[in-house]
């Protein structure tokens, strides 16, 4: 069994309630931080822990915190990014749904470190029922004196609110999230200024992912140095991985960073192998935005070393033969999967979610979807593959926010690793109707 | 069916409570949650009159509400059935049979994706990733996620909803006590 | 102050200046004789706060961040929204990569554009036309149905032809920043976005006509000028009148003695200098309403200049200079 920090008590009945959560040591980090540490101490521990943002970018959290601008008399905000919308990712929902207090605890401890009197949890609108779970937890925390005025009898006062979104992937981008939180369209802001200088309502703001904030609790409890001993190299600690696709045991797993990918896919403790004993074809390791890798490159790097679940190992080989850990949305495809059709669902997704502000993304995502649609419908042209390649290359890097890159990378990697499959679709459209694109519901129900 | 576009006192109190979560002068922040409530209260969609009413509560221009309401995919700008069946179709759901679920629903309800049944009970809508990839395929109706779908589950769901005959909203689950 | 080098030209500019502004300053300098290194713009407008950053036309590459942090910036930046830092080095025309990115942006802007220049009132003074001519491909690679919208009349004076829109947000910023109460906005999202009032509300205030002047394409046009004349058959003159609502400084566009339309005066970058009111723009269509100052300056490269010699002596000078250059060769 790997080390568990966030999901250690996941099977304890009633862990969603404050009472049970506290019995299991919950809110210890609030006690410790507020009563025995200064805000700066907390930031230092997080720095020492080597914690990196769990939302996808992997930016060191302690460093992000230390960038926060702290002018006298200006409010500062902590905003939790619970807009989990990256296809393949559902770990934050799992955590919030089952152990909501771990997030609330993290919000209080982190807000103390940052000097934020108010914090908001921005959760995607579809997770309305999870928002309700969080609000219940918040109410419990207020009643227990863990939120509100003079928390646990200290000078620190804090209010925490939940805000629901209304269906927009782009609101997972931190500045779009802030716009949405201000009651506007989720259009990413043009940076600089960064939120650390001018974020919510123009005030200095830190935006962190749910898992990142929840992880602050074990870090404060065990100390940053101890935490840094878990994991591998610069990938410290544990990470929640959302596993889906053609595996026997889809779900959310907490892994110690550095776990071999092969073990993750095939061991009974995690994914439990591929359904029907099929062969592995490809994996999207960190949510739809990261490059898809064929089986031989996900299990081993180009150099032949075992690929590990860590920021460094998954990106080993750059985009030529590597990918990214991203948000930990781990989608497994078996030998039956059509990579082309799967890519089409991604292209459709990015087209649907483009905010429309900047021209390369607004126009390019729609163009890519149309071409892919033509290909999967059997009307592809031989020039389409090169055209797709060219379009994605021209979107990448030229947009306001990373959605452009996120739309481009899956296309680039699918063509890079599975070009023959595209050619098959284009050269032999008569065969498409015979390609079994996906499992029927009944096939799976039997599996 | 049409009624006066005005929240009752209880809802209005909730709306003001929401607005007070944000600093003075920043009440526009409450726009998204208030639109959810308005959609639930006024027949499951946001008519221009509903949006104008929300604008008047927040003291903002109507266009600011239209801009927001048209940006987010969960707001309906046209009337929909009492049960809006939103089937996820992105990668993980697709590889586990989301297209079958849509086809089954279409056959079963006798309508196409995007259409509403003649009795105004059901609308089928395909949506992008709902964040439940590990329990694919799934559909959302109101606040509920229906996961690991099979045809039998879909059939049972339709029967239950038809028997209940009630409108399903995202804000169900007794939101008035918690929001 | 910060020293910045753009395509090898160094200039010292106040802190907070954007790369674009710095490039324009270099070109504006009387002693400067080089090529126009100012990046083209579609959505930036000097008189509108927070404009720019959307179209990506003005993209440049920062090859050196500053003296303190000499690292290049990670990816191409929008020069209109990126401020200079001391010691910054930027490439625009001298970078094949930048030119390729710009070409890509032009292609993206054009894939859903109707290319209906022959029937568009903006033709001849359209920024997208100029941009396409300078940076675009000769043919399109887009073979799908283009996005279309119905034409909308926004009140009696303004025609909205959304199909031509490139979503520069300028008109929205005009409505936000210079009129009281905004009625039009950006609706929907992605490539389904549109500028609209949603419920066909008329835009009714004294300065609404300025949205026409800031529109870089033919999406917002003057209904009182619609199909009256190709713009290059008209004669633009600077004129003024006493106006209680605005400064009354305009350009009137004449055909014979008839005032076909009135617009704000634009600077050399095609951006309006002073906002004008609707009375001046739409209601003063008689030559006697105006005191004519002289011909409006029109860039020599513009098609409008074909029949329009604002100043014969300057033209002679120009020819003289060119002859000298020819003699040198």
- Is residue A11 domain-resident? no
Q: Are residues B89 and B159 in the same domain?
A: yes
Host H or E run for residue A236: strand A235-236
ipTM of the complex: 0.95
Whether A87 sits inside 8 A of B128 (CB atoms) is: yes
Q: Where does a domain end: A334, A357, A376? A: A334
When CB atoms are compared, the residue of B33, B132, B150 closest to A445 is B150
- Token pair belonging to A171: 């609101």
Whether A201 sits inside 8 A of B26 (CB atoms) is: yes
Whether A182 sits inside 8 A of B29 (CB atoms) is: yes
- Number of domain units in chain B: 2
What's the pLDDT score for residue A431? 83
Average pLDDT over residues C16-35: 94
- Is residue B112 domain-resident? yes
What's the pLDDT score for residue B154? 95
Helix (H, G, I), strand (E, B) or coil at A373: helix
The distance of B175 to chain C (nearest Cα, Å) reads 28
Q: Are residues B91 and B143 in the same domain?
A: yes
Q: Where does a domain end: B71, B94, B122? A: B71
Q: Are residues A289 and A359 in the same domain?
A: no
| CATH number for the domain harbouring residue A117 | 3.40.50.11540
Q: Among A261-265, A302-306, C185-189, C195-199, which is the least confidently predicted range?
A: C195-199
Give the tens place of pLDDT for each residue, C208-259: 999 999 999 999 999 999 999 999 999 999 999 999 999 999 999 999 889 9
CATH numeric code, C112-223: 3.30.70.20
Closest to C42 measured CA to CA, from A358, A172, B39: A358
- Write out the residue range of the structural domain in which residue A423 sits: 339-432
Average pLDDT over residues A188-214: 96
| Sole residue written with tokens 């038809």 | B162
Q: Are residues A297 and A414 in the same domain?
A: no
Reported CATH class of domain C2-97? alpha beta
What's the pLDDT score for residue B144? 93
Q: Are residues A360 and A301 in the same domain?
A: no
**C-alpha distances in Å from residue C123, one per residue of A95, C217, C296:** 57, 8, 18
Q: Are residues A63 and A171 in the same domain?
A: yes
pLDDT at C189 > cutoff 90? yes
Q: Where does a domain end: B71, B92, B114? A: B71
| CATH number for the domain harbouring residue B114 | 3.40.30.10
- Write out the residue range of the structural domain in which residue B105 sits: 83-164
Q: Are residues B153 and B122 in the same domain?
A: yes
Measured CA to CA, the distance from residue C75 to residue C59 in angstroms comes to: 10
Q: How buried is A102 (Cβ within 10 angstroms: 0-12 exposed, 13-18 middle, 19+ buried)?
A: buried
Q: Are residues A225 and A279 in the same domain?
A: no
Whether B151 sits inside 8 A of A438 (CB atoms) is: no
% of chain B at pLDDT higher than 70 = 94
Query: Cα torsion for C47, C52, C58, C64, to the nearest 10°?
Result: 100
Q: Where does a domain end: A194, A229, A264? A: A229
Measured CA to CA, the distance from residue A285 to residue A264 in angstroms comes to: 11
- Is residue B105 domain-resident? yes
- Number of domain units in chain A: 3
- Is residue B175 domain-resident? no
Q: Are residues A344 and A308 in the same domain?
A: no
What's the pLDDT score for residue B179? 41
* pLDDT confidence tier of residue C204, bands split at 50, 70 and 90: confident
Closest to C276 measured CA to CA, from C306, C258, C249: C249
Query: Cα torsion for A226, A230, A232, A234, to the nearest 10°?
Result: -50
Q: What does the domain layout of chain C look like in residue ranges? A: 2-97, 112-223, 230-329
pLDDT at C110 > cutoff 60? yes
pLDDT at A437 > cutoff 80? no
Give the tens place of pLDDT for each residue, A418-434: 999 999 999 998 888 77
Among chain C residues, CA nearest to B63:
C183
- Is residue B67 domain-resident? yes
* pLDDT confidence tier of residue C198, bands split at 50, 70 and 90: confident
- Is residue A159 domain-resident? yes
Average pLDDT over residues C24-46: 94
Angle at C14 between CA C10 and CA C17, to 5 degrees: 85
- Is residue A3 domain-resident? no
- Is residue B176 domain-resident? no
| CATH number for the domain harbouring residue B66 | 1.10.10
* pLDDT confidence tier of residue B178, bands split at 50, 70 and 90: very low
Q: Are residues B87 and B159 in the same domain?
A: yes
Q: Are residues B150 and B87 in the same domain?
A: yes
User: How does strand A159-164 pair with strand A118-123?
Assistant: parallel
Q: Are residues B61 and B93 in the same domain?
A: no
Give the tens place of pLDDT for each residue, A373-399: 999 999 999 999 999 999 999 999 999
Measured CA to CA, the distance from residue B128 to residue B143 in angstroms comes to: 16
Q: Among A159-163, A357-361, C133-137, which is the least confidently predicted range?
A: C133-137
| CATH number for the domain harbouring residue A330 | 3.10.20.600
* pLDDT confidence tier of residue B4, bands split at 50, 70 and 90: confident
Measured CA to CA, the distance from residue C256 to residue C258 in angstroms comes to: 6
Q: Are residues B134 and B158 in the same domain?
A: yes
Question: Looking at the DSSP assignment, which residues form a beta bridge with residue C10?
Answer: C5
pLDDT at B98 > cutoff 90? yes
| Sole residue written with tokens 């470190």 | A113
Whether B71 sits inside 8 A of C185 (CB atoms) is: no
Identify the residue among A280, A345, A410 best suited for mutation to test binding to B, counting B beta carbons within 10 A and taking the highest.
A345
Residues 87-146 of B with CB under 8 A from A: 89-92, 94-101, 104, 127-137, 140, 143-145
Q: Where does a domain end: A229, A262, A295? A: A229
Q: Are residues B52 and B99 in the same domain?
A: no
Give the tens place of pLDDT for each residue, B15-31: 999 999 999 999 999 99
pTM: 0.94
* pLDDT confidence tier of residue C325, bands split at 50, 70 and 90: low
Average pLDDT over residues A93-100: 97
Measured CA to CA, the distance from residue A245 to residue A284 in angstroms comes to: 10
Q: Are the C-beta atoms of A238 and A3 separated by less than 8 Å? A: yes
User: H helices within A26-125, ranges in order?
Assistant: 28-36, 39-49, 61-66, 91-98, 100-114
- Is residue A442 domain-resident? no
What's the pLDDT score for residue C154? 87
Taking contacts as CB-CB distances below 8 angstroms, the residues of chain B near A166 are: 32, 35-36, 72-75
Q: Are residues B88 and B67 in the same domain?
A: no
Give the tens place of pLDDT for each residue, A292-341: 999 999 999 999 999 999 999 999 999 999 999 999 999 999 998 999 99
């Amino acid at each position: 069994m790997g080390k568990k920090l966030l999901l250690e008590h996941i099977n304890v009945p009633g862990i969603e309630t404050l009472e049970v959560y506290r019995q299991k040591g919950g809110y210890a980090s609030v006690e410790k931080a507020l009563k025995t540490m200064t805000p700066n101490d907390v930031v230092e521990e997080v720095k020492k822990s080597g914690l990196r943002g769990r939302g996808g970018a992997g930016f060191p959290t302690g460093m992000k915190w230390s960038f926060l601008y702290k002018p006298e008399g200006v409010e500062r905000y902590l905003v939790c990014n619970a807009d989990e919308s990256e296809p393949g990712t559902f770990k934050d929902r799992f955590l919030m749904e089952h152990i909501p207090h771990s997030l609330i605890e993290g919000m209080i401890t982190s807000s103390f470190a940052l000097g934020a009197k108010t914090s908001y949890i921005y959760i995607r609108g579809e997770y309305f029922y999870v928002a309700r779970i969080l609000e219940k937890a918040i109410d419990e925390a207020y009643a227990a004196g863990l939120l509100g005025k003079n928390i646990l009898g200290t000078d620190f006062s804090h209010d925490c609110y939940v805000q629901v979104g209304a269906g927009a992937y782009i609101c997972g981008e931190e500045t779009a999230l802030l716009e949405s939180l201000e009651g506007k369209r989720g259009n990413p802001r043009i940076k600089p200024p960064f939120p650390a200088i001018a974020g919510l309502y123009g005030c200095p703001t830190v935006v962190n992912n749910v898992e990142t904030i929840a992880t602050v609790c074990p870090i404060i409890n065990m100390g940053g140095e101890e935490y840094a001993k878990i994991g591998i190299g610069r990938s410290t600690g544990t990470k929640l991985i959302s596993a889906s696709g053609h595996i026997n045991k889809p779900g959310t797993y907490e892994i110690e960073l550095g776990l071999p990918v092969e073990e993750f896919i095939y061991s009974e403790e995690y994914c439990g192998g591929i359904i029907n004993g099929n062969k592995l074809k490809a994996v999207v390791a960190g949510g739809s935005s990261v490059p898809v890798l064929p089986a031989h490159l996900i299990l081993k790097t180009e150099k032949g070393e075992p690929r590990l679940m860590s920021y460094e190992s998954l990106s080993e080989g750059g985009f030529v033969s590597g990918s990214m850990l991203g948000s930990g949305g781990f989608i497994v495809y078996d030998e039956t999967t059509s990579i082309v059709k799967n890519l089409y669902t991604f292209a459709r997704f990015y087209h649907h979610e483009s905010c429309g502000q900047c021209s390369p993304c607004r126009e390019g995502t729609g163009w890519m979807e149309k071409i892919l649609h033509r290909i999967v419908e059997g009307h592809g042209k031989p020039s389409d593959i090169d055209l797709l390649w060219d379009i994605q290359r021209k979107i990448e890097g030229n947009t306001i926010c990373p959605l452009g890159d996120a739309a481009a990378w899956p296309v680039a990697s699918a063509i890079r690793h599975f070009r023959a499959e595209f050619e098959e679709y284009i050269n032999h459209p008569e065969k498409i109707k015979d390609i079994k694109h996906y499992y029927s519901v009944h096939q799976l129900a039997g599996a | 069916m049409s009624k006066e576009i005005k929240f009752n006192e209880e809802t209005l109190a909730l709306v003001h409570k929401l607005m007070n979560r944000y600093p003075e002068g920043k009440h526009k922040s409450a726009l998204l949650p208030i639109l959810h409530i308005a959609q639930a209260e006024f027949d499951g969609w946001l008519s221009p009159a509903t949006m104008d009413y929300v604008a008047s509560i927040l003291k903002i221009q109507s266009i600011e509400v239209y801009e927001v309401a048209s940006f987010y995919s969960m707001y309906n700008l046209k009337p929909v059935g009492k049960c809006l069946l939103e089937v996820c179709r992105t990668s993980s759901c697709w590889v586990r049979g989301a297209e079958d679920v849509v086809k089954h629903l279409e056959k079963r309800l006798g309508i196409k994706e995007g259409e509403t049944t003649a009795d105004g009970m059901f609308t089928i809508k395909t949506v992008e990733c709902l964040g439940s990839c590990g329990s694919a395929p799934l559909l959302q109706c109101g606040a509920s996620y229906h996961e690991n779908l099979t045809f039998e589950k879909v059939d049972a769901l339709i029967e239950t909803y038809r028997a209940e005959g009630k409108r399903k909203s995202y804000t169900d689950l007794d939101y008035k006590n918690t929001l | 102050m910060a020293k910045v080098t753009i395509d090898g030209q160094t200039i010292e500019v106040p802190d907070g200046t954007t790369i674009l502004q710095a490039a324009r300053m270099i070109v504006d300098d009387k002693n400067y004789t080089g090529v126009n290194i100012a990046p083209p713009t579609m959505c930036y407008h000097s008189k509108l706060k927070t404009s720019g950053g959307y179209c990506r036309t003005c993209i440049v590459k920062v090859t050196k961040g500053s003296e303190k942090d000499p690292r290049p910036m990670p990816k191409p930046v929008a020069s209109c929204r990126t401020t200079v830092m001391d010691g910054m080095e930027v490439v625009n025309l001298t970078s094949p990569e930048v030119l390729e990115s710009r070409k890509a942006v032009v292609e993206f802007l054009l894939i859903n554009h109707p290319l209906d220049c022959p029937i568009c009132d903006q033709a001849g003074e359209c920024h997208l036309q100029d941009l396409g001519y300078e940076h675009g491909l000769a043919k399109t690679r887009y073979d799908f149905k283009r996005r279309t919208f119905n034409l909308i009349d926004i009140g009696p004076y303004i025609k909205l032809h959304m199909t031509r829109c490139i979503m520069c947000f300028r008109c929205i910023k005009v409505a936000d920043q210079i009129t009281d109460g905004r009625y039009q906005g950006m609706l929907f999202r992605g490539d389904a976005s549109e500028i609209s009032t949603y419920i066909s509300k008329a835009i009714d205030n004294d300065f609404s006509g300025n949205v026409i002047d800031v529109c870089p394409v033919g999406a917002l046009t003057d209904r009182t000028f619609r199909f009256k004349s190709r713009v290059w058959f008209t004669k633009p003159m600077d004129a003024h009148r006493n106006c209680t609502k605005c400064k009354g400084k305009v350009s009137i566009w004449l055909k014979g003695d008839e005032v076909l339309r009135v617009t704000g005066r634009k600077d050399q970058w095609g951006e309006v200098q002073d906002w004008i009111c609707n009375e001046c723009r739409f209601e003063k269509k008689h030559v006697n309403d105006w005191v004519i100052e002289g011909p409006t300056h029109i860039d020599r490269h513009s098609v409008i200049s074909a029949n329009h010699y604002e100043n014969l002596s300057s033209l002679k000078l120009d020819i003289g200079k060119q002859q000298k250059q020819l003699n040198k060769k």
